Amino acid sequence: MSSINEAGLQPPYPLHSSIKDKLDPAYVSFYNAHIFDKQQVHLQPVSASRTSGILIPGGGPKLPVGKTEDIQIQRKETEGPDVSIRVFTPEGERPVDGWPVMVYYHGGGWVLGNIETENTVCTNLCKRAGCVVISVDYRLAPEDPYPAAIHDSWEALLWLQSTGFSLLNLNPSKVAIGGSSAGGNLAAIMCHKALSSPSLVPKFKTQLLIVPVTDNTASPSSTPSWKENELSPALPAEKMMWYRRHYLPDEKTWAEPEASPLLYEDGWGEQPKALVVVGELDVLRSEGQEYAEKLKRNGVEADLKVMKGMPHPFLAMDGVLQQGRDTITFMVEALKEVFA
């Protein structure tokens, strides 16, 4: 694969000639002002990327909520340290039948990001959809590669069913799940995994999958959007492979359904309704589209939205991109519909 940078391995990184004229002008303007002179994540040590500050610049402000609380939960089925979650509770009086709840998994390629990363999204969902939001701080690769993130994501659901509903005064009949990028991958996997343990974890009303990774076997030679957007900013194919190799160091695991939920063979007709949002200029676009289409073919309602002119990180850039703000609104509306 070619590097996104036509000049070399060090900044600046001008937008590649194959993609720059396709990008939304608002993104181009922000990129040229704030991003092009910063070192690329996949061209420096993981530790440097984790300590460099904001994961993706351009995010909007957090919204005020009634309460934010961090909780450590003990494991029931897997080995490892306690799992950290952050609970956002709306302002105002709790509904008589308990708060609706959204379980959310952040992005960052299973390598970057933490419980702070998507507080803007979480507070928007909490305040605007009137639901409790539980953000899961799953372990990261390369220190804790696959399936550590799967185990942590699952433990959060086991805790919710056994303890969380009563502890947080939640409504067990109004539960949603979702996430962005790597978090969208985890959310989709949890929906499939839940089918094998229907009494141990909640039943989901909807899944919100934003720029999700659904096929870790995808490549420029096999997948249209990987070829078209190989040198797209923010997540060029080379960078996606960097994430994949950290999280899935054993290539034999790439096609396992708990790494690539698009490759599950069964259970598609039992999936919850879905909102799937992808970027037109994202390498992950095709696999997100295929995931939504597979749900539809199996009789599941799936609302697919393609954000024009957008590379991968538009959700996290809601402070400067209308498409990011629109995506948060799509998520809020989807939650309000199923929680009504």
**42 catalytic, yes or no?**
no
SS3 147: coil
**70 catalytic, yes or no?**
no
Give me the residues paired with residue 229 across strands: none
Task: Name the helix (H) or strand (E) containing 244.
Answer: helix 237-247
Half-sphere exposure of 166 (CA within 13 A, CB side): 4
Catalytic hit among 49, 135, 153, 181: 181
- Chain-centre distance for alpha carbon 209: 7
Catalytic hit among 24, 246, 312, 318: 312
Residue pointed to by tokens 């999204």: 121
Please give the span between the terminal C-alpha atoms of the chain, in angstroms, as a whole number: 48
Q: Measured between alpha carbons, how far is 165 from 172 in angstroms, rounded to an integer?
A: 6
Give every CB contact of residue 298 below 8 A, 6+ residues apart in sequence.
Answer: 268, 269, 271
Catalytic hit among 24, 152, 282, 318: 282
Q: Decide if 236 contacts 283 (C-beta within 8 A).
A: yes
Q: Decide if 230 contacts 22 (C-beta within 8 A).
A: no
Strands 170-180 and 99-105: parallel
**106 catalytic, yes or no?**
no
CA-wise closest residue to 74 among 158, 137, 130: 158
SS3 44: coil
What amino acid positions are annotated as catalytic residues? 181, 282, 312
